[in-house]
Every structure is written in C-alpha cells, then in structure tokens.
Amino acid sequence: MAIAVRWTGMKTFVATETRVQLHEWLAIATGSLVQAALLVFVWVLNKDLLAPALIGALIYSVFLIGQRVLNEAAYIRIDHKLNELYHASPMTPESYFLGMSIGILIAYLPPIVILTLLLEIVRPLDLATLAALAATLLAVWASSSTLGYVISTLFKDMKTIWPYSSLLTNLFGIVPPVFYGIHFIDPALRSIVLVVPTSSAVALVEGVAGMESLTSGEYVLAGVSLAVEAVVLLSFGLYWARRTAREA
Amino acid sequence: MPAGVTQDALRAVDVRKTYHTRGAPAVDALRGVSLSLRKGERISLLGRNGAGKTTFLRIASTLLVPTSGTVEVFDLDAVHHPEQVRPLIAVVPQEGKPFFHLTPREQIYAYLRARGIDREAAKARTEQALDQMDIQEGADRLCITLSGGPKQRAMVATVIATEAPLLFLDEPTIGMDPFARRGVWDSLRRLTQKGSTILLTTHYLDEAEALSERLYVVEAGQVLVEGTAEAIKKQVGGTLKVSIANGTALIEELATFGEIVADGGTVNVVTAPERINEIMALTVSKGLAATVGPVTLEEAFLRIVGRSIDAE
C-alpha cells in the first residue's frame, strides 16, 4: 500500500491536541482509576503479582489511548465539525490523524510515567526489558489509536459510539491476559492470546523480564503479530484518514 | 491573460449529488448546479433548508465527492485533485464550533500555524482577526466559557485570519447579534478588497443583499435564479410594493397592476413605479389606506421559491 505521508501541520496539531487534552486533567486522572483499583487488589491479595500487574496496567493505559482517540475524533467531527476546518486546508488528513493520536498520547503520559516509576520501584528492570516495554507500548499505541480513529469515522452520533468504545476496552484490555499472567491460559489457547495486541505485548515484556515462561515459537508469534498489526493498522489508519477526509 | 487561464476563482458545471441510503429511496441533493465566481467576488447561495446549499458548498470545498459534474478552483480540479485545492481555500462549517478548551486567541493562532503560516505572521493575523471580530475582550477565555455569538465569531475569525484566496462560509453569522454581523460583513468586504473570493450561504436575506455582488437562489438542488439583488427583485414583476389594508375586496382589480399577495386582510401588489398613481387613486376612491415601499429581497425570494414549489 503506497502511501505518501505528508506532514504539513502535524507538529502544530500535536501541540493543539495536547493542550486541549491537558485542560481535561480530571479525565486524565480518572482514566487511571481502573488500573489503580486492580493494582490495589493485587497488592492486597498477592504482592508477588504486583510487578506483572503493573506491566499489564502500563499496556492497558496505552491501549486506552485508542479509546481517547475514538472519543475525541468523533466529538470534534460530530459536535464541532472541526475536521472540516482542518480537512479543507493545507494540513493533511494524515497529520490530522497522527497529530491527534500523538497529542493524546503526550497528554496521557503522566500516569504512564508514574506506573513505570512504580514498576521500577517494585521490580527494577534491565535494559532488555525496558527496551521491550518501550517497543511494545509504541506498537500498542499504533494499533489502538488506529482502531479508535477508524471506528470514530463510522458513526454519525456520539451515543452510538459509546458502546463500541466500552467494547473495545473490555475486549482487548480486560478479557485477555493483560492484568493476569499468560500461564493462566490453557496451552491450546495461548496462540490466540499471543496475536491479540495487548496480551501479546504483556507476554513479551513479562517473558523478557523473566516473569513468564514463553517458548521461542511463542516469542516469535507474539513479536511478529504485534509488529505486523502495528504496521498494518497504522498504514491502514493513514490510508483511512486520507480517504475519509472527503465524504463519499 | 494567457490562453486557458480564466479569471474564475470557482467554476462548477452540472454538479450532481445523489445520496443512497440502504432501505430508503435515493435522494437527489443536487440536480445539475452550475455556477462561477470571479476572483474577488462575494457570492451568496440562498435557499430553504435542504435546498442543496451546504451540499454544494461542501463539494466545492473538497469535503464531499459529487456524483457527477466538474468543479474547478483557480483552474485546479477540485474533484480529482482536492489536495491541490486545499491550500487555496478555508471553510467555516455549518454549526462549527471552536475547540472548547482553547481560547479564541489560541484557536486562531494554532489553526494558522497548522496551515503552515510562520509564527510572526500568524501572531499578527490572529490579533487582527480578534480586532475585526471584536472578541479581544474574551480572547483569553476558554471558548467553552463564551456564549454562542462569541463562539461563532471565534470560528469566523479563525477562517478570516487565513486570508485564503477562496473562502467558503456556511451560515457564518448564525447566532450573532446585529453589531457582530456587521463586523463580519466589514471583514469580508476587506478580504475581497485584498483579493480573496467569498462564497457564503445564509438565511439572512439582508445579509445576502448587503454583502453579495451576486446571488444564486437554490431550490430542490437546482439554481432557480442568478443575478444581483436588484435584478432578482425585478424578476417578481416590479420594484415597488403597495400594501392595501382591508383590500381583499379589490383583489380582482388590483391584479391588473401586478402580482398579488394576500397577507391576512392586507393585499400587497408588486408593481412598476409608473403604475403607483393609478393604484393609489383606486384605493383612495374606495376609502382605503395604502402604503408604498420597495420590494425586498425576502419578498422576491419567497415569490421565486414559492413559484417553483407550486410548479412542482
């Protein structure tokens, strides 16, 4: 898929979106409540599971960026019509999509940084684990932002979108082994779990950190599927942004 | 002027748009609209709700793909190469709102920067637009705290500040008070003096008349009439309107002077200036009172669109 990505206006739109999001600091704070509550439960019930749960909370927090992108893209398109202001301008649709996704990521970094610091305190990570964590977080962000943006373009009413937002979060963030270890999953189902972006990311990081035991085949499956999904979805997101800049 | 280069900022030929919705009959939103705007012109599209104004404006501003027809913006193909056209245009969307969590100053500046305008020019144009739209007072308040009028002014200021060669404004003054509306009119006049071209839609006929050099009346996806406000007013059969209170008994006689519109007990006759004396003599002879005034654009609009509806 040949996509000539042009970046006109992206830097400014990243700054714009970050500024807009930071005004909603309460949403940023409350966006970490689920993770915080689950971490408290784990801490109370079994402190040994705190480190894996923190990795899960990190991946989950980044996955939630997709939900924010979904809500923001839908809101400023349906309620504000600002997409028209930007699409009928030299700023490219690709810059609009990526600028929004990066801007939201930046605004939601503080809780992610706090979770990373907590993880460092609970279980200091070596360089390999940190690198795996950074790479998987980036891949999860790419996949979830694209999913959020694409879904946001499919509906004409905010109320219709809300259930999909919730479905997306639970389907990818709660059901698969994100907050719990992959060793709880039946061996026959592990390969399915390892192609889901969130659980493959968690499995990879926990595997590299020595918290989970993965076979080399499982490492390959998780790594390749996560990378392929990120690249394919992001490419599709850029294509879709361009295509939906004009209504058919 | 070199061969092949026109003075048109926008040229649309036989633009059609049909919406297909699953389980519902197809809707022809545009049924062959052709129009052109010369560089530096201010043009208004008038029409009822659902007439096709916004559909046309969205097609011309590269936001909607037409079913058929051609649209050229400064000789560039807006249908097949929208990316070439977009740097030359700016749009105030219908019912658009600024970012609620930016101030008007931030909103305008950020948009100009996103369009690639350098910092100094963006700052200067932002201040100028805030002045022109008279929103300096609330310029540093978050837009969410502003009432509807200032929010709309912030949107218009955002687009005016671009000084784009071709501006599309879809009901730009909706929700504004009369002072603010006149502020917008002045800004738009200044922009066209600088060389920009403007296409706007509006339901305010006084605005269309005050602001536009030419008007297009659109109904059911087609252009019914095109021309200056004066020319359109003449199309209703006269330039003056005589209103006769309690004149219903005279309708048959009055009909010989021009088109009749009954409004309650009052009978309005649209006629030419040379017939006024005869009408006045008739009404006075019957002991009735009459007033004479110019035909307004609103009356002409109602008449033209009304005839079209009757014909359908």
Segments of B134-244 assigned E as strands: 166-170, 197-201, 214-219, 222-227, 240-244
Give me the residue spans of the domains in chain B: 8-227, 237-294
Does residue B42 surpass a pLDDT of 50? yes
Write out the two tokens for B40: 């530096």
| Architecture of domain B237-294 in this structure | 2-Layer Sandwich (3.30)
B62, A87: Cβ pair inside 8 Å? yes
The answer to whether A93 contacts chain B (CB < 8 Å) is no
Q: pLDDT digit string (tens) for A90-115?
A: 999 999 999 999 999 999 999 999 99
Homologous superfamily in CATH for domain B8-227: P-loop containing nucleotide triphosphate hydrolases (3.40.50.300)
Does residue B1 surpass a pLDDT of 50? no
Taking residues B44-68, report their average pLDDT.
96
B261/A163: higher pLDDT: A163
B97, A81: Cβ pair inside 8 Å? yes
Confidence of residue B108 (pLDDT cuts 50, 70, 90): very high
* Mean pLDDT estimate for chain B: 91
Q: What are the b/e assignments for B279-302, b being 16+ CB within 10 Å? A: beebbeeeeeebeeeebebebbbe
The answer to whether A90 contacts chain B (CB < 8 Å) is yes
Alpha carbon distance B60, A157 (integer Å): 25
Min Cα separation A165/chain B (Å): 22
Does residue B308 surpass a pLDDT of 80? no
pLDDT of residue B96: 95
Write out the two tokens for A89: 């301008």
Beta bridge partners of B170: B201
Question: H or E stretch including B37?
Answer: strand B27-38
* Percent of chain B with pLDDT strictly greater than 70: 97
* Mean pLDDT estimate for chain A: 94
Of B299, B242, B294, which Cα lies nearest the Cα of B267?
Answer: B242
The answer to whether B115 contacts chain A (CB < 8 Å) is yes
Yes or no: say if A59 and A198 are a contact pair by the CB < 8 Å rule. Answer: yes
Alpha carbon distance B170, B182 (integer Å): 16
B114, A87: Cβ pair inside 8 Å? no
Chain A residues inside the 8 Å CB shell of B162: 89
Picking from A9, A20, A80, the nearest residue to B114 by CB comes out as A9
Task: State residue A203 phi and psi, 5-degree precision.
Answer: -60, -40
Q: Name the closest residue on chain B to residue A6, using Cα atoms.
A: B83
Confidence of residue B294 (pLDDT cuts 50, 70, 90): confident
A89, B97: Cβ pair inside 8 Å? no
Q: pLDDT digit string (tens) for B194-235?
A: 999 999 999 899 999 999 999 999 999 999 999 999 899 888
Alpha carbon distance B88, A85 (integer Å): 13
Interface of A with B in 22-81 (CB under 8 A): 23-24, 76, 79-81
B64, A85: Cβ pair inside 8 Å? no
Confidence of residue A1 (pLDDT cuts 50, 70, 90): very low
Of A178, A168, A198, A170, which Cα lies nearest the Cα of A71?
Answer: A168
Confidence of residue B4 (pLDDT cuts 50, 70, 90): very low
Alpha carbon distance B95, A113 (integer Å): 39
| Lowest-confidence segment of A97-106, B56-65, B250-259 by average pLDDT | B250-259
A225/A6: higher pLDDT: A225
A90, B61: Cβ pair inside 8 Å? no
Give me the residue spans of the domains in chain A: 10-244
Chain B residues inside the 8 Å CB shell of A79: 97
Alpha carbon distance B228, B231 (integer Å): 5
Yes or no: say if B117 and B129 are a contact pair by the CB < 8 Å rule. Answer: no
Q: What are the b/e assignments for B171-208, b being 16+ CB within 10 Å? A: bbbbebeeebbebbbebbeebbeeebbbbbbbebbebb
* Percent of chain B with pLDDT strictly greater than 90: 68
A16, B91: Cβ pair inside 8 Å? no
Of A173, A204, A207, A221, which Cα lies nearest the Cα of A63?
Answer: A173
| Lowest-confidence segment of A159-173, A214-228, B56-70 by average pLDDT | A159-173
B113, A92: Cβ pair inside 8 Å? no
Taking residues A149-177, report their average pLDDT.
91
Yes or no: say if B110 and A10 are a contact pair by the CB < 8 Å rule. Answer: no
B101, A24: Cβ pair inside 8 Å? yes
Confidence of residue A2 (pLDDT cuts 50, 70, 90): very low
Q: pLDDT digit string (tens) for A176-195?
A: 999 999 999 998 899 999 99
- Tell me the C-alpha to C-alpha distance, in Å, between residue B154 and each of A224, B130, B150: 48, 8, 6
Q: pLDDT digit string (tens) for B13-36?
A: 999 999 998 888 999 999 999 999
The answer to whether B148 contacts chain A (CB < 8 Å) is no
Write out the two tokens for B197: 């071209």
Taking residues B34-56, report their average pLDDT.
95
pLDDT of residue B259: 82
Q: Name the closest residue on chain A to residue B61, using Cα atoms.
A: A88
Alpha carbon distance A169, B38 (integer Å): 52
The answer to whether A3 contacts chain B (CB < 8 Å) is no
Does residue A4 surpass a pLDDT of 60? no
Chain A residues inside the 8 Å CB shell of B168: 88
B101, A16: Cβ pair inside 8 Å? no
Does residue A5 surpass a pLDDT of 60? no
The answer to whether B114 contacts chain A (CB < 8 Å) is yes
- Best A16, A23, A156 member to test B by mutation, with max B CBs in 10 Å, is A16
- Give the global pTM: 0.91
pLDDT of residue A7: 84
Min Cα separation A106/chain B (Å): 16
Q: What are the b/e assignments for A33-63, b being 16+ CB within 10 Å? A: ebbeebbeebeeeeeebbbbbbbbbbbbbbb
Of A76, A53, A55, A63, which Cα lies nearest the Cα of A31?
Answer: A63
Does residue A212 surpass a pLDDT of 80? yes
The answer to whether A243 contacts chain B (CB < 8 Å) is no
Q: Is the dihedral of CA A38, A44, A48, A51 positive or negative?
A: positive
